[in-house]
Structure 1
Amino acid sequence: MAETNLQRVCNVSDLETNWGEVALIGDHQYAVFLVKDGSVFVTDHKDPASEALVMARGIVGEKDGKHTVTAPLYKEVYDLETGECLSDKDFTLPVYETSVEDGVVYMTATA
């Protein structure tokens, strides 16, 4: 069975609404997004299509009521909650369970 562990990511005050930031935890880069309703999402920073470390530079938006990020290189649109690619079913963006406690963003990583 996979072990889960809670990782501190950043303070919510470090984030700008509808903008991505990069968090380096260990040797892995994550993209962190604060959306306009106050929800926080954490995904891989690596773009599944190009394999470039660029997802935090994507365009944050909404599609069909879902919070999304559009990859900056090839413009795939990903659901920030599920990682499903809404524009090309060949790709999935890894996403991580997040929580906010006392103004601090945490993510659950599976080892």
Structure 2
Amino acid sequence: MSRWQRVCTLDALVPDRGAAALVDDRQIALFRLSDTGDVHAVDHLDPFSRANVMARGLVGSRGGVATVASPMHKQAFDLRTGECLDDPTVSLRVWATRVADGWVEVELTDGTGEP
């Protein structure tokens, strides 16, 4: 079973900048893309450095894929799938997002905060 958790207003997200949020006791990083307006949610925890820093990452693209690069070691992650483009054996957890009545919402399943 899934449910949607309100996180912040869409206007609170600066395009192409990350924002950290605590959702069901889990730190996530939200990104609003300037070119498409899409909102993405991924783990805030960098799997390489084990630090909660992904919201401070650099938004960009590689081969037409929207990415965020870790501010620690610069590995790039696909914002849609969480896959690390520099090491496909590593990935970030991703959450479905939607905008409803001006609010960004993140989908949670099973009441556990897991996607």
TM-score grouping bracket, smaller chain normalisation: over 0.9
Q: What is aligned with 1:90?
A: 89
1:52 partner SS: coil
Q: Cα offset for 1:92? A: 0.5
Give the ranges of 4+ consecutive aligned residues of structure 1 lying more than 4 Å apart after TM superposition: none
Deviations 1:64-88 (A, max 9, x none): 1111000111111000001111111
Aligned Cα root-mean-square deviation (Å): 1.0
1:83 partner SS: coil
Q: Work out which of the residue numbers 6, 11, 14 in structure 1 matches 2:12.
A: 14
Deviations 1:38-73 (A, max 9, x none): 110011100111110000000001111111000111
Q: What is aligned with 2:113?
A: none
1:107 partner SS: strand
Q: Cα offset for 1:6? A: 1.1
2:59 partner SS: strand
TM-score (norm 1): 0.93
Which residue identity does 1:17 align to in structure 2? P
The number of equivalent residue pairs is 109
Show structure 2 runs of 5+ residues with no match.
111-115
Which residue identity does 1:75 align to in structure 2? K
Which residue identity does 2:71 align to in structure 1? P
Q: Cα offset for 1:26? A: 3.1
Query: Aligned partners of 1:103, 1:35: CA distance in 2, in Å?
Result: 16
Q: Cα offset for 1:31? A: 0.3
Instruction: Give me the identity figure in percent.
Output: 44
Which residue identity does 1:93 align to in structure 2? L
TM-score (norm 2): 0.90
Query: Aligned partners of 1:19, 1:33: CA distance in 2, in Å?
Result: 6
Q: Cα offset for 1:110? A: 2.4
Query: Aligned partners of 1:91, 1:18: CA distance in 2, in Å?
Result: 23
